[in-house]
Every structure is written in structure tokens, then in C-alpha cells.
Amino acid sequence: MEKEECISQWHKTRDSSIVRNRKVFPSPEQTHQSPITPESKIKQDDTPCSNGSSGDFSARGSADSPNQLLLIVVTGLSFATRLYKITEPPHVCWDETHFGKMGSYYINRTFFFDVHPPLGKMLIALAGYMTGYDGTFPFVKPGDKYEHHNYWGMRGFCAMLGSFLPIFAYLIVQELSRSHTAALITAALLIFDTGCITISQYILLDPILMFFIMAAVLGMVKFNQQSSRPFTAPWWLWLVLCGAALAGALGVKFVGLFVILLVGLNTAGDLWRILGDLSLSLVDVAKHFLARVVGLILLPLFLYVLVFAVHFALLNKSGPGDGFFSSTFQSRLIGNNLYNVSMPEYLAYGSTITVKNLRIAGGYLHSHWHLYPEGVGAKQQQVTAYLHKDYNNMWLVHKPDNDTQSQTPDLVRHGDIIRLEHKETTRNLHSHLHQAPLTKKHFQVTGYGINGTGDTNDLWQVEVCGGRRGDLVKVLRSKVRFLHKATGCVLYSSGKTLPKWGWEQVEVTCSPYLKETPSSQWNIEDHINPRLPNISLSLLKPNFLEILLESHIVMIRGNSGLKPKDNEMNSKPWHWPINYQGLRFSGVNETEYRVYLLGNPVVWWINLASLGLYLIMVAVSSIAIQRGISLQQKRLEHSDILTGGGGLLLLGWLLHYAPFYVMGRVLYYHHYFPAMLFSSMLTGVTLDTLLRNADLLLCQPYSDWLQRGGQMVLLFTVLHSFYMFHPLSYGMTGPLAHEPGSAMAGLKWMDSWEF
């Protein structure tokens, strides 16, 4: 402690900007008065690497240089491990097929739909564009050869961002624990973790996401250190950087919400502390509050919205994602059938139409040659809502009795009774007093009859919302409701996904609750009638906020729609910390080039053990303090680091891990990686604190040896395990692990590992 202060004093005279990193204790007077000699000794021992290199130059001046030296080493190793064999294998691996494809969509400017926000894919596209990828590779399925396409740029970009993770972790841990060794342990764990290497080396969103998560945490930690100097330039800088990184994290995946929660909780605690500081006036408190609102809420929000604005501006051509969005949205897209559309303006009898539900991400009214299964209402033909454009979305509009064909077709008016015939199967839209398959309060809607002849349950009354009797039905612009004549219910899309028998399309019901909601309102999207003149319709262009809201609701729907399928092996959250099962990135057979995403088991199990150890150590120190046992200053500081910095990391781990237990969507092993970063940082803090307290066990010189030895053993173990498991990341060929002669022979420690 004494030394720390001396250093800061010394620096102050030379360069005041360095001071901020050093001056970390809120009450410097107190530390002045209680100088502890063993502390400075231990500080020197912390930096074993520097002892050899910098010699006995100046104990004061070298304090920063080993730090920088270590940082350079960490940076070098990190980049080297991630960029090594970056172009191998030269074919599409795992989810590259999605994210590479989406990168191509950006380069080609075609509209698509994905459940994740766009930033990650935009960055991938940018990296590809800059390095000469032209967006022509189709990314059809994993295993496709890249051949002459420039894919290395996109992979290299992800690997670069992935390389920053150990560096950020190093800086965060150093800031939280004020110990080089803790930081070094963390960096070693991450650099030599095969899982982190593998996940960084491919065109995936995860390295980008984790980059932003770690950047946000680093910004937050640095910002916390500045708390004694509010409203200075570095204070603002870290605040703004943290906010920007938060926007980035959320812009890549919604998992970014967890780090926002972490920063939010930290900020709330910080504000609570400021509020309790009675030396600050209420105006000061308000200033603090507003600064954080600006830096951590408004700025990220602005950046996030900006990302979407760029996204929508970039993608202006029709593509595979059109059907997920409303008719007005589609009219923006060049090449969509609604772009500068021309069709008969008013709905007429005899027309072929598609009907789209007005709820956001509501589908087209759809039917197909499949019946409802036994036990689900009447065993008649299914009617569903379907999000893609399809020939089965076409319906014919008929009068209740069979049409008498006149020269100019009659127009449909508000209050008319019509019959909708499914064009492909010639069944009528039908409803009756059976329970709907999922929404049991509603009635079932089916396709009934043949060649347009059915019964009275096929009749629907057209109602234009806000219209009067006799009003015409405008195509695209009128909101229409279909009231079932016999039962009085209204055609409704519940938004619930049907099980497998319904092809996971969306349920359509007939609701007896007549309240006007978007779920019960429909619009006529396509309208084909050769006997009526086509008129160019200029749709109301939606404004940006509407588009933003709509795309978010579509994304959230899409995410919750990713339900685990019964027949798929679903990864469970409890599998993850114990490294139960990895993911095949590439290759299955002996002849293929195989990459298997699996954390370095030694690293992961050390992490797991450290979590337990951390809880025990915190419990012991809290009990000791609660019982009033007098402790040395050094131990109190260690206890502070454990509860303060360690607590923050534990919270981070929990926030990035626990929510997966209640998530209904399908889960994969790689979802654990953000949590694993926090867990590794916590390991660094825990093990370092443990080793520093070796003198509880042994007396002075031996305890130092124990500490040094422990650090060495740890480092060596991690290195050696990396040497053993590195083929997981850098590729394996030849026989599988259970056969002799394999590179991984004898390393299949768990039966569940598939290499």
C-alpha cells in the first residue's frame, strides 16, 4: 500500500494522467496512516516475470513496465492462438452457413429476416466487403467448399475481435483485484481455452457479441475507478465507451440484455452510494443521475436505433424475409410484388386474393392438403396462418350461392356475405362449434366441402373496420374482419404455433370475443382479377419507428418460436459448466477434417472448482469479520476484493447463465461462453487471493514458495492441457479418439464428447 501511494505521488509529479489508474482507495488518508510492510513485499513478489527481466533498475519505475510487458505478451499470444490456421478448414463450418449467408445478403442488399439484431451481421458483411468478398458464395450448407471466394476476411475479423477477449479480461481483473497475477491467471485461462479459440475463429456472432460484452464490462470497471473524479474527461470517456459497447452488445444478440442488466445494477448501486453521500447537494446528485441516463441509456439507445436505420437503408431489395412483415413494410422493398404495385383497387367477387393478418408478424391465411388429427376438433382440413409467400395462400371470393358470371364483376361491400374458397384444394373456409386446437376458448376453423359446395357454416360476413353498410373494400388499405355467419364469431389468428401435425404454422381460430384487435383484422394483400383494370396503388409508406417496432416484435416472435423439437438432442444448461458435451463444427467421419467446439476441460473444471472455492472463501471471511475476529489489514483488503470485484464477476456469471434455465427456446452449448468469460475472471481473482493467503498455512519463506509454486503449477497445467487438446480447435484428421493412433487417443475423458 505504501508503495502504491509512493508510486502515485511519484507519477503525479511527472504525468497526472497515469494517476487515475492508481488512485483507487476512497480514503487515502487512512491508507497513509496504516502502512503495512509485508504488503509491499508481496507486491514485489507478484511480478515474478519482471524480476528477471527488469533487474534491479528502479523498484518504483518498473511497476508499470511489467504490466505493459505482460500486456504485450498476452496480446501477442492471444492474437497468435486465434489467427493460427484461420483459413482452415476451407469449407463452411456450422452456423457460418447462416451468418455468412446473411453477410452476403448485406453485400447484395437483399432483405432477409433473422431473430438477432443486425449489427453483428453488418460488421461481418463490412469485413467481407473490405477484404474483397463479393457476396456471391451461396453458403448453402456446412461442408461446402469456399474455393476461390475470399472468406478469410470475415473469419479474420471475428478472430480479431475474439483476440481482444483475453486482453479485456486481463485489464478488468487487474482493475478489480489490483493484482498482476490474478490478471495473468485469467488471461492464461482464456488464451489457452480451446473453446474460446474455436468459437472465435469462424464467421459467427459470438466473438462479436463477447467483444462488446467485455468492452462494456471494462468500461464499467474503469468508470467505477474514476468515481472519485467525476465529470473529468476520462470519467466521461469511460462512461461513453461503456454505453457504446452496451449498444453494440445488444445490437448483436439479445443476450446483450444481460450485460446491460449487470451495468444497470452496478450503476444503481453507484447512484445509491452517491445519494447517501450527504456532502453532495441534491443538484450534484441530479447531475450524476442525468449523466448516467445520457451515457448509459440515451446514447446506447441512439446507437442501437442507428444500427437499425442503417440496416433498413442498406436492405432495400426484396428477399426471403418479406413474408414476415406487414404489407406496408413490404412495399418499401424493390422487387417485392407490393413495390409500386398495381392491382384492382376494390375487392370484387371472383377475385383471387391473399389475406394477411394485421397483427405484427401475423401470417397469410393458409390451408393445405392435411387434416386436423384425430382428437383435435373435427377431422377436417387444416386452416393456418403461414408467414411465407406460398401458392397455398390463395383464396377465391365467391357469393354464397354459386356466382352468376356477369361481364363486370360485382364489388364486395361492407356487410356482404361471402364464401372463401381455397384455390388449391377447393375447400371452403369453414368454422363450427368445436374447440380450436390450442386456444380452447375459440372455435376451430377448417377447410370443408369440395369444389366450392359446402354448407351454411362456410358463410362469412365482410366488415370493414370503421366502415358503413355499402362501403367498398379497398385492397391493402382496408382493415377487414370476417364474421362467421352461423356462430357469430370472428376470424382470428392467435399467434400460437401449432405442433408438428400443423407443420409449425400459426393457429387460426374463430373468436367469440368480438373486440377489435389486430389479431382479428385482416387485409387483402394480393388481388388478381383479370376482368378489372389494374390501378397503381401508392401505399402509405410506414415511418421509421413503425418499422423498428415491427421488426422487433417479429424478432421476439421468431426467438420464442425456436422451441426445442422433441426429436432433437437438446443441450441443458447444467451440461455447460461441467463441459458435458460440445458442438460439431465440422466433419464427422475419420476421413474428414474435424473441428469440435469444446472447452479445454482442465480450464473449465478449474473454473467450476473455483466457483465453489470462491463461495467458501467469501463465507469464511464474512463469518470471520462478522464475529469480530481482528484481521490484518492485508486480509481485510483481500476480503474486500473478494466481495467487491469477485461479487461483481459472480453477478455477471449469474446474469449470463441463470436466465437460460427459464428460457423456453432451444439451447446450445455455445450459449455458455459469455458466462464462461466471467467465470474465468472470477477464477483469476479467487485463485490469486487463495495463493496470496498461503501464509495462513505456512510461515514466511515457505509460504512465498508455495505461492510461487502454485502459480507455476497452475500455468503449467493450463499450458499442458492446451497442448493436449489443441487439435480440437486446430483440426483433427484420421481415426476417431476411441481408436489407437488418433491424435486425441486417451483424451476422450467423457463418453459424451464426440470426437
Partner 1 sequence: PAMLQLPLVVTARLDLVLVLVTLLSLWTRLGGLGYPGAVVFDEVYYGQFLSLYMKRTFFIDDSGPPLGHALLALGGGLPWQRAAAGLSVWSLRLLPALGGALCVPLGYLLVLELRCSHLSALGAALLLLLENSLIVQSRFMLLESLLIFFVLLAFFSYLRFLNAPGRCWSRYGWLLLSGVSCAAGGLSRVTRGQPLQVAFGSQVTLRSSAPRPVPCWLHSHKANYPIRYENGRGSSHQQQVTCYGFKDVNNWWIIKDPARQELVVDSPPRPVRHGDIIQLVHGMTSRLLNSHDVAAPMSPHAQEVSGYIDFNVSMATQNLWRLEIYNREAESEEWKTIVSEVRLVHVNTSAVLKVLAGSDVTAVAEQSTSINLCVCVCLNIVCCHNYPRSGQEQKEREAELHSPTHIDVDRKISFWSKFTELQWKMLTVKQEESEHKYSSAPLEWIAMETNIAYWLHPSSNAQIHLIGNPVSWGVANLSLLAYQLLAALYLLRRRRGFRDLPDGAWQRFASVGLLCGGGWAVNFLPFLLMERTLFLYHYLPALCYLHLLSPALLEHIHTHLLRTSRHVLGVCTAAVLLSVFLSYWTFCPLTYGNPELTANQLQALKWRDSWDILYRRR
User: Of 569 and 697, which has the nearer Cβ to partner 1?
Assistant: 569
CB of 442 to partner 1, least distance (A): 10
CB of 512 to partner 1, least distance (A): 9
And the C-alpha cell for 537? 396503388
And the C-alpha cell for 659? 436466465
Give CA–CA dist 190/198, Å, rounded: 12
Give CA–CA dist 527/423, Å, rounded: 13
- Three-state DSSP state, 482: strand
Binding interface with partner 1 (CB under 8 A): 272, 275-276, 278, 282, 370, 373-376, 435, 438-441, 500-501, 513, 515, 566-568, 662, 664
Return the amino acid letter for 356: K
Secondary structure letter of residue 3 according to DSSP? H
Residues forming beta bridges with residue 536, ordered by sequence position: 342
CB of 279 to partner 1, least distance (A): 11
User: Of 662 and 699, which has the nearer Cβ to partner 1?
Assistant: 662
271 close to 328: Cβ distance less than 8 angstroms: no
Give CA–CA dist 702/681, Å, rounded: 27
Sign for the CA dihedral angle at 499, 503, 505, 507 comes to negative
State the alpha helices, DSSP H only, in 384-503.
none
CB of 563 to partner 1, least distance (A): 9
User: Of 275 and 609, which has the nearer Cβ to partner 1?
Assistant: 275
- DSSP element (H, E) containing 546: helix 544-560
CB of 655 to partner 1, least distance (A): 16
Nearest to 202 by CA among 260, 250, 256, 162: 162
CB of 15 to partner 1, least distance (A): 38
Instruction: Please give the backbone phi and psi of residue 432, each rounded to the nearest 5 degrees, phi first.
Output: -160, 175
CB of 285 to partner 1, least distance (A): 8
User: Of 145 and 500, which has the nearer Cβ to partner 1?
Assistant: 500
State the alpha helices, DSSP H only, in 320-443.
327-330
CB of 667 to partner 1, least distance (A): 14
User: Of 59 and 261, which has the nearer Cβ to partner 1?
Assistant: 261
- DSSP element (H, E) containing 483: strand 480-484
User: Of 530 and 664, which has the nearer Cβ to partner 1?
Assistant: 664
CB of 504 to partner 1, least distance (A): 12
User: Of 241 and 376, which has the nearer Cβ to partner 1?
Assistant: 376
Q: Greatest CA span in the chain, whole angstroms? A: 107
Residue found under cell 463477447: 210
Residue found under cell 361492407: 414
User: Of 15 and 568, which has the nearer Cβ to partner 1?
Assistant: 568
And the C-alpha cell for 240? 461513453
Q: Give the CA distances from residue 570 to residues 97, 584, 642, in Å, rounded to whole numbers and listed in that order.
A: 20, 14, 36
User: Of 282 and 545, which has the nearer Cβ to partner 1?
Assistant: 282
User: Of 15 and 566, which has the nearer Cβ to partner 1?
Assistant: 566
DSSP of 197-217? HHHHSSS-SHHHHHHHHHHHH
User: Of 84 and 501, which has the nearer Cβ to partner 1?
Assistant: 501
Q: Could you tell me where the beta strands, DSSP code E, fall in 436-582?
A: 443-448, 460-464, 480-484, 490-497, 506-511, 522-528, 535-536
Radius of gyration of the chain measured on its C-alpha atoms: 32
CB of 282 to partner 1, least distance (A): 7
User: Of 134 and 504, which has the nearer Cβ to partner 1?
Assistant: 504
And the C-alpha cell for 202? 469462424
User: Of 275 and 712, which has the nearer Cβ to partner 1?
Assistant: 275
Instruction: Please give the backbone phi and psi of residue 357, each rounded to the nearest 5 degrees, phi first.
Output: -75, 145
CB of 383 to partner 1, least distance (A): 17
User: Of 500 and 531, which has the nearer Cβ to partner 1?
Assistant: 500
Burial of 513 (0-12, 13-18, 19+ CB in 10 A): exposed
CB of 496 to partner 1, least distance (A): 8
DSSP of 140-197? -STT-B-TTS--HHHHHHHHHHHHHHHHHHHHHHHHHH--HHHHHHHHHHHHT-HHHH
6 close to 669: Cβ distance less than 8 angstroms: no
CB of 265 to partner 1, least distance (A): 17
And the C-alpha cell for 598? 469444446
And the C-alpha cell for 611? 466457483
CB of 322 to partner 1, least distance (A): 29
CB of 283 to partner 1, least distance (A): 13
User: Of 316 and 435, which has the nearer Cβ to partner 1?
Assistant: 435
Nearest to 260 by CA among 192, 305, 209: 209
Nearest to 118 by CA among 105, 133, 135, 129: 105
And the C-alpha cell for 304? 442501437
597 close to 670: Cβ distance less than 8 angstroms: yes
CB of 547 to partner 1, least distance (A): 28
Q: Could you tell me where the beta strands, DSSP code E, fall in 197-283?
A: none
User: Of 540 and 663, which has the nearer Cβ to partner 1?
Assistant: 663
